[in-house]
Chain A
């Protein structure tokens, strides 16, 4: 919100230079976002927090705040108005339909004004705050709003329907009722919106904008001055539904002190008389059904000492409250009874009062004291610890960690065959690129390869993040881990490399029995080059080469292999701690066999036959060489295995190993037609 430095100085003659002022203000009061030179003046852009609009959205209020911070005396504007004999109440009546909508309505009449351009001083003052000068009446209303924080409005008295005694009604708009506002636009209203109306039609959208029909023109002679207090929520909702945010609506939706309407309307009458002449009728028509009384608040000095952790002498506390405009109604040894300035709608309780004392005293002067009390040891978050373990293991295995947006586009959905109605949709997306929440990490990981191939020939990445899915009842989110390897060199197959990464990761956590099973139903992956990853019966996720129809769209068709797994399931399966196995006491004997088999024979088939042939003394089987070549004949391959024989309780004899090997070989020949080389 813009404030004129010179204007503030009118109330604070000893105001320090702008830079110095801002330094103190920022520390103990409000943030100042900008200081700009404006002719001979400076404009301060002050960030008034939502809870302080009620007292600080006008120059006088801000001056009081500054006065409290800098301990300066505020010189309030001094004015008197000269009233005519005719009573306002003989020309105007006010009717508030619902006192919840309108806490207070003040009106005055000025007759015989001369509408014209504002004098220089007035035009300059409102321009410095970013408002356009219009005419002396409108400018005067804006000036008083900028001074007091009270939004004001002027109607052309002669445009209001009725004879000598004219009624002004504060009511809800009717369905489909319309008004042409001062911006010349037609607004269609509804009962959620409050209007100021005469007997026939709305004169203004209450607290938001005036109507054109009753507005001030060059021909206007007689004025109705409005200074009212409307319900903040009603104004906010109306302003949102009309998409119309004005200086008045902004102030009203934050709450305005209902006690300043009177001062503000008198000040407005005073300024108008000064710049446009005219006669002010006698008295204010004041409808104030539920008068807000000043609330007294107790302030317990011992409680303050405990809460703040410091001792500030009672006199100093009292002094700070007085500087801030509080009245000390009563005081005992350990207690103060305080009455806050009426504009301070934010002061409701002990904590609010404490903030006032501490900020003026200076937060930084509160001596730092480490907390005492029972030392509770930090409880490690198991799932997060595992997530970190997984990250570190994948990095150690050569994958780089990326963070991606949680969003995907409509184009992504259709490329991956996902349906919008089955995907969580953002109601107000940043852009169409970020319209849906991703149900899989794969999509954005593949995008990463495309962008990185400009600089690298090989991309090895992983991500741990949440994915989002539409559940049966409501959306749910789950942690996933996904990794991807993609290379420009199409001759290098990355599947087994990535599978090795997955296996090694689980081995690092003590899990050796990961299962890989054919995956046929995943349209994102290539049949015959994809697998479901399982531990026992639990499916953890998938690994596979991404379908070329997708890679062509996202990374120029370079092959990419990806895995994606459910993190909670991984954590569940690795949570069983590593268990110690007794060290072998008796030596292992290694025998190698090389098999010539049909090319389509799978390693898992051979391993099954070997393991079923010998389940007592065979400890492990390792594939160490695979060979395919013309020498072997068409459609053949050679596989070589280490067979590791070992017993926990004795040294094995050559004879028993020989017998076991024989049985294995004969089963391989029998079941696979394998040749032993």
Chain B
């Protein structure tokens, strides 16, 4: 055997050795007193100087290499006895952890985005008076605009501070939080207000009488329509993806003027049209606009001194779009087949 042959076969044999005895016989075969490599080393002295200088170092290197491999293999065989191999392809043992509701997840993402833009989180009650849910938002009693919000009324009534009895209701939107917050804070204001809202409405795959909204409000001395577009677009691009197109169109809400509806190009079909966007290419996301001067008056601000914008959208709608959820009623179903997917 020449050096090349020894190297090739010795390495294979060492690697394949199953126990110490086999390993020892391999050592003897190559490095023993009459081993193949030993024989070559012994024969060096009979070679020409030139030849010896050529083969000598190579043979010595190989000896060192084989000794090292033998030692490693010995260690390995010792450990293997104490620590038998594990089938690393077997499935891992998993500890059961619970799942958060998809709306909790979406809400957290949204709060983080707005928080990075300087928006704090505010809250308000779910049982409201007519004043906070309607009047203060420029939706007077006996005005047809009230018909936009089908309301669940409570049998009880409340005494307000002026000792006037007020009808109580379940808030039909999160917009009353704007009023509570402005009544107790001075501009500059940047808030979002997530929460539940309720409507007197038959439920189907896209309508629920109990749903989840997120309200936003920014008020300062100089806030423009261009700012309004920038903040809401930035948010939508971050929650969906930076390539969605954002479309603003005229819409009417009594508490904003100018009023707008904001839509995004359908993230599923990129606006080409699919079942999610009912083949329109657009998904209506938010109602929004510049805060109406009457709303500022209702909270005691001078409309001449402040400007702002407000927006509101469905957390459930965003979750439905993001996670491809076909039926809004799943959110309130308590069905673990649904929850455990998130």
| Contact assessment for B154 and A51 in the assembled complex, using a CB-CB cutoff below 8 Å | no
Taking the complex as formed, is A116 at the interface, i.e. its CB lies under 8 A from any CB of chain B? no
Given contact pairs A352-B257, A400-B336, A475-B127, A306 touches B156 in the complex (Cβ within 8 A): no
Taking the complex as formed, is B96 at the interface, i.e. its CB lies under 8 A from any CB of chain A? yes
**In whole Å, how far is B181's beta carbon from the nearest beta carbon of chain A?**
12
- When each residue 73-113 of chain B gets 1 if its CB lies under 8 Å from chain A and 0 otherwise, what string results? 00000000000000000000001111111011000100000
Q: Point out the residue from A52, A391, A429 that lies within 8 Å of B252, measured CB to CB.
A: A52
Residue in chain A with minimal CB distance to B103: A403
Interface pick from B9-17, B42-50, B226-234, B268-276:
B226-234
Interface size class of A (residues with CB under 8 A): 35 or more
Q: Point out the residue from A53, A233, A364, A425 that lies within 8 Å of B155, measured CB to CB.
A: A425
Given contact pairs A308-B224, A455-B337, A456-B336, A371 touches B230 in the complex (Cβ within 8 A): yes
Q: In the bound complex, what is the Cα–Cα distance between A397 and B188 (angstroms)?
A: 41
| Contact assessment for B155 and A400 in the assembled complex, using a CB-CB cutoff below 8 Å | no
Give chain B residues whose Cβ lies under 8 Å from the Cβ of A388: 104, 108
**In whole Å, how far is B66's beta carbon from the nearest beta carbon of chain A?**
49
Which B residues between 37 and 77 are near A, CB-CB below 8 angstroms?
A: none
Taking the complex as formed, is A344 at the interface, i.e. its CB lies under 8 A from any CB of chain B? no
**In whole Å, how far is A592's beta carbon from the nearest beta carbon of chain B?**
28
| Contact assessment for B227 and A462 in the assembled complex, using a CB-CB cutoff below 8 Å | no
Residue in chain A with minimal CB distance to B257: A351
| Contact assessment for A475 and B154 in the assembled complex, using a CB-CB cutoff below 8 Å | yes
| Contact assessment for B115 and A378 in the assembled complex, using a CB-CB cutoff below 8 Å | yes
| Contact assessment for A374 and B188 in the assembled complex, using a CB-CB cutoff below 8 Å | yes
**In whole Å, how far is B211's beta carbon from the nearest beta carbon of chain A?**
10
Which A residues between 336 and 378 are near B, CB-CB below 8 angstroms?
A: 349, 351-352, 354-355, 358-359, 363-364, 366-371, 373-378
Q: In the bound complex, what is the Cα–Cα distance between A424 and B153 (angstroms)?
A: 11
| Contact assessment for A309 and B142 in the assembled complex, using a CB-CB cutoff below 8 Å | no
| Contact assessment for A430 and B250 in the assembled complex, using a CB-CB cutoff below 8 Å | no
Taking the complex as formed, is B340 at the interface, i.e. its CB lies under 8 A from any CB of chain A? yes
Q: Point out the residue from A254, A378, A395 that lies within 8 Å of B97, measured CB to CB.
A: A395
Q: Point out the residue from A352, A401, A406, A466 that lies within 8 Å of B101, measured CB to CB.
A: A401
| Contact assessment for A426 and B334 in the assembled complex, using a CB-CB cutoff below 8 Å | no
Residue pairs across A and B with CB atoms within 8 Å: the count is: 240
Give chain B residues whose Cβ lies under 8 Å from the Cβ of A121: none
| Contact assessment for A369 and B227 in the assembled complex, using a CB-CB cutoff below 8 Å | yes
Q: Point out the residue from B144, B148, B226 that lies within 8 Å of A254, measured CB to CB.
A: B144
- When each residue 240-264 of chain B gets 1 if its CB lies under 8 Å from chain A and 0 otherwise, what string results? 0000000111111010011110000
Q: Point out the residue from B103, B290, B307, B332 that lies within 8 Å of A404, measured CB to CB.
A: B332
Q: In the bound complex, what is the Cα–Cα distance between A198 and B155 (angstroms)?
A: 42
Which B residues between 132 and 173 are near A, CB-CB below 8 angstroms?
A: 142-145, 147-148, 152-159, 168, 170
Q: In the bound complex, what is the Cα–Cα distance between A427 and B340 (angstroms)?
A: 36
Q: In the bound complex, what is the Cα–Cα distance between A395 and B101 (angstroms)?
A: 10
Q: In the bound complex, what is the Cα–Cα distance between A456 and B122 (angstroms)?
A: 38
Residue with the highest number of chain B CB atoms closer than 10 Å, among A355, A364, A380: A355
Residue in chain B with minimal CB distance to A349: B293
Taking the complex as formed, is A448 at the interface, i.e. its CB lies under 8 A from any CB of chain B? yes
Q: In the bound complex, what is the Cα–Cα distance between A455 and B160 (angstroms)?
A: 49
| Contact assessment for B227 and A309 in the assembled complex, using a CB-CB cutoff below 8 Å | yes
Taking the complex as formed, is A236 at the interface, i.e. its CB lies under 8 A from any CB of chain B? yes
Taking the complex as formed, is A477 at the interface, i.e. its CB lies under 8 A from any CB of chain B? yes
Give chain A residues whose Cβ lies under 8 Å from the Cβ of B116: 378
Q: In the bound complex, what is the Cα–Cα distance between A399 and B286 (angstroms)?
A: 33
Give chain A residues whose Cβ lies under 8 Å from the Cβ of B158: 474-475
Give chain A residues whose Cβ lies under 8 Å from the Cβ of B147: 50
Given contact pairs A51-B252, A366-B229, A428-B153, A403 touches B168 in the complex (Cβ within 8 A): no
Q: Point out the residue from B126, B188, B225 that lies within 8 Å of A307, measured CB to CB.
A: B225
Q: In the bound complex, what is the Cα–Cα distance between A351 and B142 (angstroms)?
A: 24
Give chain B residues whose Cβ lies under 8 Å from the Cβ of A379: 120
Q: Point out the residue from B114, B152, B234 that lies within 8 Å of A430, measured CB to CB.
A: B152
Given contact pairs A307-B225, A371-B227, A377-B118, A400 touches B156 in the complex (Cβ within 8 A): no
Q: Point out the residue from B100, B231, B247, B337 that lies within 8 Å of A370, measured CB to CB.
A: B231
| Contact assessment for A381 and B120 in the assembled complex, using a CB-CB cutoff below 8 Å | yes
| Contact assessment for B220 and A371 in the assembled complex, using a CB-CB cutoff below 8 Å | yes
Taking the complex as formed, is A444 at the interface, i.e. its CB lies under 8 A from any CB of chain B? yes
Q: In the bound complex, what is the Cα–Cα distance between A375 and B223 (angstroms)?
A: 14
Give chain B residues whose Cβ lies under 8 Å from the Cβ of A452: 334-336
Q: In the bound complex, what is the Cα–Cα distance between A460 and B96 (angstroms)?
A: 11
**In whole Å, how far is A479's beta carbon from the nearest beta carbon of chain B?**
10
Interface pick from A25-33, A598-606, A630-638:
A25-33
Taking the complex as formed, is A79 at the interface, i.e. its CB lies under 8 A from any CB of chain B? no
| Contact assessment for B100 and A391 in the assembled complex, using a CB-CB cutoff below 8 Å | yes
| Contact assessment for A403 and B101 in the assembled complex, using a CB-CB cutoff below 8 Å | yes
| Contact assessment for B98 and A401 in the assembled complex, using a CB-CB cutoff below 8 Å | yes
Taking the complex as formed, is A402 at the interface, i.e. its CB lies under 8 A from any CB of chain B? yes
Residue in chain A with minimal CB distance to B122: A381
| Contact assessment for B104 and A401 in the assembled complex, using a CB-CB cutoff below 8 Å | yes
Q: In the bound complex, what is the Cα–Cα distance between A171 and B248 (angstroms)?
A: 47
Which B residues between 3 and 33 are near A, CB-CB below 8 angstroms?
A: none
Taking the complex as formed, is A499 at the interface, i.e. its CB lies under 8 A from any CB of chain B? no
Residue with the highest number of chain B CB atoms closer than 10 Å, among A391, A402, A403: A403
| Contact assessment for A406 and B307 in the assembled complex, using a CB-CB cutoff below 8 Å | no
Interface size class of B (residues with CB under 8 A): 35 or more
Give chain A residues whose Cβ lies under 8 Å from the Cβ of B257: 351-352, 354-355
Q: Point out the residue from A307, A376, A381, A406 that lies within 8 Å of B118, measured CB to CB.
A: A376
Which A residues between 587 and 617 are near B, CB-CB below 8 angstroms?
A: none
Taking the complex as formed, is A583 at the interface, i.e. its CB lies under 8 A from any CB of chain B? no
Q: In the bound complex, what is the Cα–Cα distance between A52 and B251 (angstroms)?
A: 11
Give chain A residues whose Cβ lies under 8 Å from the Cβ of B218: 371
Taking the complex as formed, is A584 at the interface, i.e. its CB lies under 8 A from any CB of chain B? no
Give chain B residues whose Cβ lies under 8 Å from the Cβ of A377: 118
| Contact assessment for A378 and B152 in the assembled complex, using a CB-CB cutoff below 8 Å | no
Q: In the bound complex, what is the Cα–Cα distance between A353 and B114 (angstroms)?
A: 31
**In whole Å, how far is A486's beta carbon from the nearest beta carbon of chain B?**
12
| Contact assessment for A473 and B159 in the assembled complex, using a CB-CB cutoff below 8 Å | yes
Give chain A residues whose Cβ lies under 8 Å from the Cβ of B340: 400
Given contact pairs A369-B230, A473-B159, A29 touches B122 in the complex (Cβ within 8 A): no
Q: In the bound complex, what is the Cα–Cα distance between A425 and B144 (angstroms)?
A: 26
- When each residue 310-342 of chain B gets 1 if its CB lies under 8 Å from chain A and 0 otherwise, what string results? 000000000000000000000111111101100
| Contact assessment for B198 and A406 in the assembled complex, using a CB-CB cutoff below 8 Å | yes
- When each residue 297-327 of chain A gets 1 if its CB lies under 8 Å from chain B and 0 otherwise, what string results? 0000000001111100000000000000000
Given contact pairs A404-B332, A473-B159, A378 touches B120 in the complex (Cβ within 8 A): yes
Residue with the highest number of chain B CB atoms closer than 10 Å, among A28, A380, A428, A448: A428
| Contact assessment for B209 and A430 in the assembled complex, using a CB-CB cutoff below 8 Å | yes
Taking the complex as formed, is A162 at the interface, i.e. its CB lies under 8 A from any CB of chain B? no
Give chain B residues whose Cβ lies under 8 Å from the Cβ of A430: 152, 200-203, 209
- When each residue 182-214 of chain B gets 1 if its CB lies under 8 Å from chain A and 0 otherwise, what string results? 000000101000001010111100000110100
| Contact assessment for B98 and A462 in the assembled complex, using a CB-CB cutoff below 8 Å | yes
Which A residues between 410 and 438 are near B, CB-CB below 8 angstroms?
A: 424-430, 434, 437
Q: In the bound complex, what is the Cα–Cα distance between A456 and B220 (angstroms)?
A: 53
**In whole Å, how far is A472's beta carbon from the nearest beta carbon of chain B?**
12
Give chain A residues whose Cβ lies under 8 Å from the Cβ of B225: 307-310, 354, 358, 363, 366
Q: Point out the residue from A49, A355, A369, A398 that lies within 8 Å of B258, measured CB to CB.
A: A355
Give chain A residues whose Cβ lies under 8 Å from the Cβ of B188: 373-374, 376
Given contact pairs A425-B155, A428-B152, A369 touches B226 in the complex (Cβ within 8 A): yes
A-B contacts, 13 listed (Cβ < 8 Å): A29-B250, A364-B248, A368-B226, A368-B229, A368-B230, A369-B230, A371-B220, A374-B188, A394-B98, A400-B336, A424-B156, A447-B334, A477-B125
Q: A307-B225, A309-B227 given. 5 additional CB < 8 A pairs?
A: A308-B224, A354-B225, A363-B250, A366-B226, A406-B170
Q: Can you list the 7 inter-chain pairs with the closest CB atoms, starting with the nearest?
A: A309-B226, A309-B224, A355-B258, A49-B252, A448-B334, A363-B248, A395-B98
Residues of A participating in the B interface, judged by any CB pair closer than 8 Å = 26-31, 49-53, 232-233, 236-237, 253-254, 306-310, 349, 351-352, 354-355, 358-359, 363-364, 366-371, 373-381, 384, 388, 391-392, 394-407, 424-430, 434, 437, 444-445, 447-448, 451-452, 455-456, 459-462, 465-466, 468, 470, 473-475, 477
